[in-house]
Amino acid sequence: MGILQLPTELLLALPQYLHNIEDFTNLSSSCRAFRQVCSDASPNTILRLAASSSRVFFRPDPHFLIAATVRQVSDWALLSNDNTQALRQAIQGGVYSLLNICVEKAGLTMDDIRRLHASRFSLINPTSDMIDRCAGPQFMSTPDFWNGGVSNPATISLEPTRALFQIIIYGELFASTMQAFLEPDRALPRFDQEFRLDFIKYCIPDSMCSSYTGVTVLEVGPYVGTNNELMPQKESDQVGLDYLLTCRTWSEAWERVRLAIGPNFDDVPRQIMWERAVQTQGLEGLDMLRPGGLERWRPRLEEMRKNIENLPTEKRPKECRYGSSGRYYCWESPDMAAEITVTLATYWGEK
């Protein structure tokens, strides 16, 4: 009896027993019958197989697949407090723990994977190159670096592609939270600033990040023991992102996007919210930086700006202060740059 003579339900179960996405694509291309079997595979099965090949086909590992699926997990987590706490616990375990819950709760289709790989050339690589010129090895290798070669020289050790994916994942996770603040009358579910600080602390780990008044860094995930593979050994990710997110090249790129929609707000809190809302849109949001890409986003950005303009003062996000003197602060609404400043307070001298 040949394998193709097996009952249909057994053939349909075959993808669940493969080892990785390469096995899946080989099976799919072997004959018409197996192609049909693979086309019926569930998105979760495809994601599990992709995760098994993450270090080969989906680099940077595990950030690529997290960026591709974490918005689904964010939506799931906001359905209940129990789900939110489950995601928070996974985040505290570090990026591989976050990938595990993505594999458990989310899914990918082969069309998703093809689209993601196409975005590597249209969105990811160009933006990663810009980051490299802002704060990566290209930046550090500028001639006369310390003698006028760059406008703001600093010792930065940043891996550009990983940094970009950290920014993307933040946007994918918290875009819905930003939307909740843009439309407060809808009472949409959202993650609070403590949840977001946990993401910064444990999924963008940094040896400079430690506990102080109001902020606790648990000895879990990347902060367990020494020589932990979750803790970057050469780069200082939070320090690098702190520099990148406020540097002139990065800031001016996003400023051009905002000014194409409307002028800056005179009111500082509204302006900050407008800046962060534009940047907290995940992978597809990078399209705004691409020549011609802004037009697809224009209606959505105009709506965002209108929401911020019409936001009643009493419903604006409030400051959340930390440290013995309250010097360090972020907002109730997503603000990656400010949140990194909070998690790095001991680096700046907070005791």
6-15, 85-94, 193-202, 268-277: which range is least confident on average? 6-15
Q: How high is the mean pLDDT of the chain?
A: 90
CA–CA distances in Å: residue 318 to residues 303, 314, 315:
22, 9, 8
Whole-angstrom Cα distance, residue 94 to residue 344? 17
Q: Mean pLDDT: which of 40-44, 169-173, 207-211 is highest? A: 169-173
DSSP letter for each residue of 86-136: HHHHHHHT-HHHHHHHHHHH----HHHHHHHHHHIIIIIHHHHHHHHHHHS
The confidence score (pLDDT) of residue 148 equals 62
Mean pLDDT score, 13-39: 78
Q: Which secondary-structure segment (H or E) carries 328?
A: strand 328-331
Confidence at residue 32, expressed as pLDDT on a 0 to 100 scale = 77
In this prediction, residue 37 carries a pLDDT of: 72
Confidence at residue 151, expressed as pLDDT on a 0 to 100 scale: 64
Residue range 175-217, pLDDT digits in tens: 999 999 999 999 999 999 999 999 999 999 998 999 999 999 9
Kindly report the backbone phi and psi dihedral angles of residue 322, in degrees, each rounded to the nearest multiple of 5, phi listed first: -135, 160
Alpha-carbon gap, residue 312 to 64, rounded angstroms: 38
Closest CA to 202 of 228, 177, 234, 176: 228
Closest-CA residue to 297 (of 172, 179, 289)? 289
Q: Do residues 94 and 223 touch, judged by C-beta distance below 8 A?
A: no
Q: Tens of pLDDT along 112-156?
A: 999 999 999 999 999 999 999 888 787 777 776 666 666 666 667
Question: What pTM did the predictor assign?
Answer: 0.93
More confident residue, 133 or 233: 133
Question: What is the DSSP-derived secondary structure letter of residue 215?
Answer: B
pLDDT band at 30 (very low <50, low <70, confident <90, very high): confident
Of the candidate ranges 145-154, 165-174, 218-227, the one whose mean pLDDT is the lowest: 145-154
- The C-alpha atoms of residue 167 and residue 253 are separated, in whole angstroms, by 15
**Residue pair 45/105 in contact by the 8 Å Cβ criterion:** no
